[in-house]
Amino acid sequence: MSLRMKFGVCAVAFSLAAGVANAETFDFGGSPERFSGNGDRKPPRCQINIPRAAQSSFFVQWNCTDDQATPDQIRTSLWIQRPGERAPDKLKEFLGFPASIFIDEGVLRVENFTDGLPAAFRLVAEDRAGTSAISPFYTVVAQDNSVDTCSLELETEGTESDGGTTGIPSERVLASDVSVTTEQVGNNDVRVTTFAAVNASPCEIGDVCSNDEKVTFESSLALLDGDDGTTSATGTVIVSPGNVGASVEGSAVRSSSSLTSLEVSGMTVIDGVPATVTLTCQQ
């Protein structure tokens, strides 16, 4: 049985514990399944609170409601995708709410907490009829006071109709608020990468959207501080599938030695059509 689920984000940010930054509540599930017949066709609707970045142990907390089942009739399970492991691992199963689990070195299977990050977490909720809601993976990265969230946009140039030729509309790929890892390479070079394939919406460019509308990207940038107090950023952005690459330039903001935001853009060609690539990142 295939479920049609609706994902959304409620921007509620607060700290769960020392060493945790940007904890947010994510909302998912609740959209009815589109198939004929009677019975309970609507999966539970859930909210999960999880940080974007951490440098010490933290809680993952969640709650769910259902149109027919009471809270004590809803089963949930939390899954983890550890770095280097090929498949996610179920941490624990719960019945009823509220529910939470403490993420520490033991759960991550490491001695040093940040060595177990980035790690991704997924929540599965099932009502008494067996109708399920499955969240996307939420990635927690090691907190390093650098950018940890990026948005990537690709847009091709449209063409107008001219005589016997048919115009081609512009096409877009947008991956918004994606958790990323930021690696400092030398004093003035940084590398920003996605932890796993992420959903893009809209995803209209065939070469880039061939993996079920999921994309990955990475960017290598050189930062240069100017005499006027600004910081320039130049380098490359590579998007997969399609291995679409672009030379980009733009600006960045640094506080002490940490990178707090950046915005770069550049041009590339996709299937013979010029396209703009824009990457924006922030803490």
Cβ contacts of residue 85 below 8 Å, gap of 6+? none
Please check whether residue 272 lies inside any domain of the structure: yes
Residues 261 and 278 in one domain: yes
Indicate the residue type of 202. P
Q: What is the CATH number of the domain that holds 244?
A: 2.40.128
pLDDT tens-place string over residues 62-74 = 999 888 888 899 9
Residues 114 and 170 in one domain: no
Instruction: Using alpha carbons, select from 52, 4, 50 the residue that is nearest to residue 29.
Output: 4
pLDDT of amino acid 153? 97
Instruction: Using alpha carbons, select from 230, 148, 152 the residue that is nearest to residue 192.
Output: 148
pLDDT tens-place string over residues 244-256 = 999 999 999 887 5
Distance between CA atoms of residues 81 and 75, nearest Å: 20
DSSP assignment of 47-90, as one string?
Answer: EEEEEEEESS-EEEEEEEE-SSS-GGG-EEEEEEE-TT-SS-EE
Distance between CA atoms of residues 242 and 133, nearest Å: 31
Please check whether residue 1 lies inside any domain of the structure: no
Question: What percent of the chain has a predicted confidence (pLDDT) above 70?
Answer: 82
For residue 35, CA distances in Å to 32, 39, 62, 202 come to: 9, 11, 28, 25
pLDDT of 156 above 90: yes
pLDDT of amino acid 31? 57
pLDDT of amino acid 12? 34
Q: Identify which has the larger pLDDT, 202 or 12.
A: 202
Residues 192 and 89 in one domain: no
Q: Identify which has the larger pLDDT, 221 or 118.
A: 221
Please check whether residue 2 lies inside any domain of the structure: no
DSSP 277: E
pLDDT tens-place string over residues 196-246 = 889 999 999 998 998 888 999 999 999 998 888 889 999 999 999 999 999
- Radius of gyration of the chain, Cα coordinates, nearest whole angstrom: 21
* Torsion from C-alpha of 183, 189, 191, 192, nearest 10 degrees: 90
Q: What does the pLDDT average to over 181-203?
A: 83
Residues 99 and 176 in one domain: no
Distance between CA atoms of residues 34 and 6, nearest Å: 13
Domain that holds residue 91: 7-142
Last residue of a domain, one of 126, 142, 158: 142
The reported pTM is 0.54
Q: What does the pLDDT average to over 150-161?
A: 90
Last residue of a domain, one of 142, 175, 198: 142
Last residue of a domain, one of 113, 142, 171: 142
Q: What does the pLDDT average to over 86-93?
A: 93
pLDDT tens-place string over residues 101-114 = 999 999 999 999 98
Distance between CA atoms of residues 157 and 140, nearest Å: 35
Q: What is the CATH number of the domain that holds 94?
A: 2.60.40.10
